[in-house]
Structure 1
Amino acid sequence: MSDAPRQRATFLGLLPLPERKAVAEALRTETIGGLVLLAAAVVALLWANSPWSGVYEQIRDFHFGIPALGLDLSVGHWTADGLLAVFFLVAGIELKRELVVGELRNPATAALPVIAAVCGMVVPAALYVAVAAPAGGGLDGWAVPMATDIAFALAVLAVLSTHLPAALRAFLLTLAVVDDLGAILIIAIFFTSDLDYPALAGAFAGLVLFYVLQRLRVRGWWWYAPLGIAIWALMYNGGVHATVAGVAMGLILRTTRDKGEETSPAERTSHLLHPVSAGVAVPLFALFAAGVSVSAAALGDVFTRPEPLGVVVGLVAGKTLGIFAGTYLAARYTRARLNPDLEWADVFSLAVLAGIGFTVALLIGELAFSDPAQAEQVKAAVLLGSLIAAVLAAALIKRRNAVYRRLYEEETVDEDADGIPDIYQRADYGIGGSRTEG
């Protein structure tokens, strides 16, 4: 007796309804935050290239804080080391959710987006080295083009007024989550200063206490807010980039609900902080990080200096090649069948869109280059590379927008107004929302 043929998984098919709702909720705030981020970047560029650029630099470089605690920072550093900790706290929560209840929970399901994301980090770094090394450039910026900015990418989609199907958006979100994890590890391992072991021991003790409070089901912001600030300050003084503290706390927060709980601590924290992260923390960082000169000479340096040229090539060509090739090879290896309503050209468009590497790329650029002039060149390269990726992706996505709109409307229509899209109640869709083959 012959074995029954194994059913091929559908790649980028209709998401299970609970996952679709979670993705929609996560992306809604990211899209609004992305539009604010885009506005902040435009303001920064206009301000830094206006007659009032001196005022911009004075505000960015103004120092305040508590020197006795080692926290006398400039406004620019407060946004990078302080406010971005909130962004990474939310990123840590999203990563924990993906690992516990999301796409990364099942190794078989996670394999394809994880392989695509890893290739989307390795190939840009390799292309940066391939461009910079032969020209005698420094290799410190190899990590700059590795991260995708999900908020900026979604802002581009919002400006285009396109309607990507939920599966494409979820794939982009998963890529960004894995990217964030890679960026966190890179920052923690490669961008640490002289370590202060007593301070790091204090930060570790604070994280242990944070974990114990979670295990004991202790509730109340008055416990966690002071403890979180103390962990952040100790991590900063310990020589490890303070954003790592945010990720660590996000990963510790409990994502599963106890009996009788309407929301888990991670859900409550994300609900409270996600708007702060997307609407305040990241835009303020962009305001004081994206203000670079866009003169003809500065733009010329991007294409004549090896380091900034490597960043542009890594973002535009490296991200596209890495994510598309990784996705295609992983799909072939896992025998995943592409959604028949989509084409590989759609995956290619998404790979180009992932070349927008704004927030984390700017942060790593600041950490990698101590020379201010070189750091400015790399920032200009990040902005230009992200702009090129956005324009190319816009052209590719607009070409297929009619298809995307039809799929989006099909998966959202609810004629009987029962709160469940009609497509999930159709007989030709099997478990998990994938179309059954007949």
Structure 2
Amino acid sequence: MLQALVRAIQLPDLRRRILFTLGMLLIFRMIAHIPVPNINPGALDQLREALAGNQLAQLLNIFAGGALQNFSVAAMGVYPYITASIIMQLLQPLIPALQELRKEGEQGRIRLHRYQMWLTIPLAYLQAYGQTLTLERTVNPTNDPFQSLFRSSFDLFGNFLPTFTILTSMVAGTMFLVWLGEQINERGIGQGISVIIFGGIVSGLPGLIVQGFQISQAGDLGTFIGIISFIAIGLLTIVGIVLIQEGQRRIPVQYAKRVRGNKVYGGQSSHIPMKVNMAGMIPLIFAQSVIIFPGIVASWFYQPGAEGIGNMIAGFFFNTFNPTGVGGGFVYMSLLFLLTVGFTYFYTMVLFQQQDIPENLQRNGGFIPGIRPGKTTAQYLTKVLNRITLAGALFLGLIAVLPFITQSITGLQLGLGSTALLIVVGVAVDTMRQLESQLVMRDYEGFLSR
């Protein structure tokens, strides 16, 4: 891997791509420190304390590269774009017009991408309003103007213009990050949106290391052992992520010979790579967002110590769907594990159906040895996919609850969750694979030029 990176730096065109990618990441980190208009700098410390007890906010802060704790224009990161991408993928099997666009090749892909960008904007406004309102009520539950995150009240109806300005600046920051990701796709190395998320997570590693060093200096022998255990669990998690992400079952495929004129086509053998974790990190995002949402809504109505049936119901949901709630830890972990496993199967089947592998095989004269083409092939591939997805689904479920298990074993919570590790390792492996493919392509070009 290091040898491939050194070779890439030595080639002028690849060196330009790498430097361009690093430049886009530098711009992203600069944007992450530009605050939204009307922000109250004195309330940012209270915001950081509020983020420490909000799991959904921590997840969004990871995707935004720490921009949420600074309440910058990039506080939402590229999460609205990811949400729009997921929605478009789920709608394609349900809407025939979108299915036809997907089959039209490059032109259809461009139109689908345009629809995805249009969908991102209203989703970004909705997330900006909900996210800002939640944090404002968390930091300032009594509506005290001196404790507010903003210099003027955040009220879309009573104080429209300043509030709309804040929301628009956050939406503009998200769309600018999406544009940076597209520039990386065209002129850099790696998948642009994933690289942006990767850069945000990695930028927080120095602070995490300093935090761990401070804990080890101030703690006793038990704390030191806890840090060593935390590092060991993290390394084992990285190894497991690599094995699962790279794991696949290869289904052999044979192509029949076809004669067209004086030429013979086909007759070669190939394989279908069925990945153990085809869904990637999406099921984790689904599960964490769904399970935390009831607790977030309940927090708007729950007032600790108050009386009344409504407050009691809100307190039940707040504590149940909160990993730190009273009596809700085990229930939260169990639901999170089950939702992650279920979403893994669901999203994997959606992706598999979109690929139309049985139909493409039959159209190109391919078949699996011992399996009849058509419906029988589809049933066979679905059966194989269900079996190998079980390992990937259980692994993702374990990844989802691993931070809580680690905290109970080591007594430490240093802020780098297993979801972040999954993203970092996955993006790093994918980027290095693309870099090596670029090197192979240039080796072929050099061979042909000779």
Q: TM-score, normalised by structure 2?
A: 0.27
Give the number of the structure with larger relative contact order, counting CA–CA contacts within 8 Å between residues 6 or more apart: 1
Please say which structure displays the higher CA radius of gyration: 2
